[in-house]
Structure 1
Amino acid sequence: MNLRGTTPPTRQRAASSWVVCLAAALLTAACGNEVSIDAPNGRAPSAPAFADSAVDADLVARGAYLATVGNCAGCHTAPGGAAMAGGLRIETPYGAVYTGNLTPDLQTGLGGWTADDFHRAMHDGRAPDGRRYAPAFPYPSFTHVARADNDALFAYLQSLPPVQQANRPHELRFPYGTQVALAVWQWITFTPADAPTVAPSAGVARGAYLVRGLGHCGECHAPRDHWSAAASDLSGGEMPGARWYAPSLHPTLGSADALAQTVALLRDGRNSHGTVTGPMATVVLKSTQHWRAADLEQAARYLQSLPPAPPAAEAAPAAATLLAAGARLYADRCADCHGNDGAGVPDAYPALAGNPSVTQPSVRNLVQLLRHGGFAPTTAAQPRPFGMPPADLSPDQTAAVLTHLRQAWGHRATAVSALDVLKAN
């Protein structure tokens, strides 16, 4: 089974100059996971595949679990809105998008869809009437989902109470989102996968299937090329349309307990090295903490099977005045919770010493945490998680305290400037 998206080289070489120029202007809009299925489908409703009231309850239950694995509700349920009815507004650099209604309402949802229609949307990125979806609906990942799993997902969605809620059109600037742009993007960068009929049930193959398919981890954790298409590796990068950095998921050499640490982070929202916050906190809250133990373990084993991440280059020490200013700010603002030694407090405040989030190549996440605060997800392991309030710091102060964090306790990450802070805001 091929789990890697490909960019057909013959197609790239065959592209004429006008196509390339057009694509260069249009395709930056392909920003990962911010546009969802657009229902209705623009055609007369047909009989849904699972209209029979005697639909297999086990199929619906399996679909419900798969919807949790894929975190469908995370995008398709607006705050205070009906489950899976869409309407969530998501800001992107190219305008706003609105998530679609996945309930089985005939006029505004998926009530007129068939199982074939749903599979085509997931696998090919095409609507029942042939329209192409913006790749921000993560069909470049969902194309790897087995037909049997798509059928189960569709059965679950068809079992939901129908909600009549019209889908709002996206507010993307021209020409982003036009069918011409999307046709060019798909032609150059996207080939539907040779997905299995039935998903792998165990082993690292199961982990790869979950991570690369429904889990769609690469939509955030894969770097993107000049077409904004996600690469096949999970080496991290700036999150499209967000002010966050998705770290590499490749293993780090010398981490003997990495498997257990990965499972703990996905299940509990924390491990001995740190706590999830930001967008990943929502993923843990709504999705990964509910994965079956075997699926979590196999996903972690697959991630550990990836090529090790190269060691970060050690940076030169920052100026003594900057380090001293950062140390004073840390002692005044941070040490009461995280400790003078950066060790934190178990089950309360995460350690900063040895925390890989502190020494990431990008300082975006650290800047966002200081500016907006940090809030961990509620999980069975931490039903009342501690949060961090925002810090009222100037760009110079932020740069100083972050430089201290990145060069204290044996850390050798690069220093942070006020310009770095301003660019990350």
Structure 2
Amino acid sequence: MTNALLKMHPVKSLGWVTLTSLLVLALGVVWDNWGDLLGPQAPNTAVTAPATEAEIEQGRYLALAGNCMACHTTRGGTPFAGGRRIDTPFGGVYSSNLTPDPETGLGRWTAQDFWQAMHRGRSKDGRLLTPAFPYNHTSVITRQDSDAILAWLRTLPPVVQAQPAHNLVWPVGTQPALAVWRSLFFEPSPFQVNKAQTAEWNRGAYLVQGLGHCAACHSPRNALGASGAVNDLSGGLMPVVNWYAPDLTRDTESGMASTPLAEIVRLLRTGASNTAQTSGPMGEVVQHSLQHLNETDLQAMAVYLQSRAQSTAQPTAKTPPARISLQVATQGAKVYENQCLQCHGERGEGVKTASGEVAYPTLAGNRAVLLNDPTNLVQLVLYGGYGPATQGHPRP
């Protein structure tokens, strides 16, 4: 066969090689997605015991940890009824209805159906789901937690609301394209306990890598929209929304290595600490998810995040500041004097209340100000820098 190809015309030979390569690629994709491409499995007729109140409450708590409502609720709509448009670089994806309506929601889903969606990114009818649903992260969670979430979702009032059709550029969103994408970038990642670490560290890792899906924002995305591994916290620009998620392993960007553990917990719980304040997408995560978690889980997440930062080599040489012309600096000083000085102070020292709460953040030495990427500063100036309103920080 090889000798015959060599004797062919070069163009024909190249064509055969290309065709053969495409065939091998197609066979590899089919093999990699074999279980998913077969379609829905036989219905699970096994009788399961009704969920206990404790399991249902655990499911409610886990749904908060995963911030599920944020994507599965339209603005002003019924919680968890889906239909919210999620913009991607390739078009719009609409979230599904998680209420127990039998026609448009999860009313006819079994625990196995739900587990397949969480663990394999596959719907009840066998369709491969778009990775706007972070099934690489939900594949981390245990079957027990998956069942608990479904048990709680079944207690919601059923809402009739069909999922709108996605509006993605062709061929993105087609089943063959999703199969190829999954072969390239998706592999279920069930949580593996690190026996060298404490139970608290492992609980934090489980939450950060799984339902917290922190790497969905805090890792770079490639041209095909794939983020890093579930434990990649190296930071990156969030597409479409255009916020920069800081590198959580680099102290100059996040302060995770040097900030006292109690202050990290406070930041996660309230959105503000003595050294930082959350804004933009992270503010929404605190608002709708993290502030509702118990202190034990927030402490575990803080322990894990700080450990990751402290075990990462930190750069010793500071990046020299960009050269700014005297004209630009003078103009900037005038803008600051007219628009910023009254609240943030003459030298950017900020203002604190009598109780020590941050009223106006310190800008001098602020990590957000010193980031090499100025994206977040531009966003804050254009759209405001208010943190989330939380029980521990009611008046941001």
User: Which residue of 83, 87, 102 maps to 1:87?
Assistant: 83
Counterpart residue number, 1:310: 315
Name which one, 1 or 2, has greater alpha-carbon Rg: 2
User: Aligned letter for 1:241?
Assistant: V
Q: Deviations over 1:266-298 (max 9, x none)?
A: 111111223211111110000011111111111
Q: Distance in 2 between matches of 1:152 and 1:122?
A: 12
User: Which residue of 211, 216, 234 maps to 2:213?
Assistant: 216
Counterpart residue number, 1:106: 102
Q: Distance in 1 between matches of 2:221 and 2:46?
A: 37
Distance 1:16 1:271, change over 3 A: farther
**More moved, 119-128 vs 372-381:** 372-381
User: Which residue of 343, 347, 356 maps to 1:341?
Assistant: 347
After superposition, residues 12-411 of structure 1 pair within 5 angstroms as 18=22, 55-195=51-191, 202-232=199-229, 233-252=232-251, 256-306=258-308, 307-310=312-315, 312-346=318-352, 347-385=358-396
User: Aligned letter for 1:78?
Assistant: T
Distance 1:20 1:297, change over 3 A: farther
User: Aligned letter for 1:260?
Assistant: A
| CA apart distance, 1:251 | 4.3
Distance 1:156 1:196, change over 3 A: farther
Q: Distance in 2 between matches of 1:42 and 1:162?
A: 24
Computed over aligned residues only, the root mean square deviation of the Cα atoms, in angstroms, reads 2.8
Q: Distance in 1 between matches of 2:90 and 2:228?
A: 21
| CA apart distance, 1:45 | 9.2
Q: Distance in 2 between matches of 1:158 and 1:47?
A: 18
Say if 1:235 and 1:309, in contact at 8 Å, map to a contact too: no
Q: Distance in 2 between matches of 1:298 and 1:195?
A: 15
The number of residue pairs the alignment matches comes to: 349
Q: Which runs of 5+ in 1 are unaligned?
A: 1-14, 23-40, 386-425
**More moved, 57-66 vs 242-251:** 242-251
Q: Deviations over 1:24-45 (max 9, x none)?
A: xxxxxxxxxxxxxxxxx99999
Say if 2:137 and 2:189, in contact at 8 Å, map to a contact too: no
Q: Distance in 2 between matches of 1:381 and 1:301?
A: 21
Q: Distance in 1 between matches of 2:42 and 2:168?
A: 27
Q: Distance in 2 between matches of 1:298 and 1:230?
A: 24
| CA apart distance, 1:189 | 1.6
Q: Which runs of 5+ in 2 are unaligned?
A: 1-18, 27-38, 353-357
Q: Distance in 2 between matches of 1:160 and 1:260?
A: 36
Q: Distance in 1 between matches of 2:373 and 2:141?
A: 32
User: Aligned letter for 1:289?
Assistant: Q
The normalised TM-score by structure 2 is 0.81
| CA apart distance, 1:18 | 4.1
Distance 1:239 1:256, change over 3 A: closer
Greater relative CO (CA pairs within 8 A, separation 6+): 1
Q: Distance in 1 between matches of 2:190 and 2:210?
A: 12
User: Aligned letter for 2:240?
Assistant: G
User: Aligned letter for 2:282?
Assistant: M
Distance 1:48 1:105, change over 3 A: farther
The normalised TM-score by structure 1 is 0.76
**More moved, 312-321 vs 356-365:** 312-321
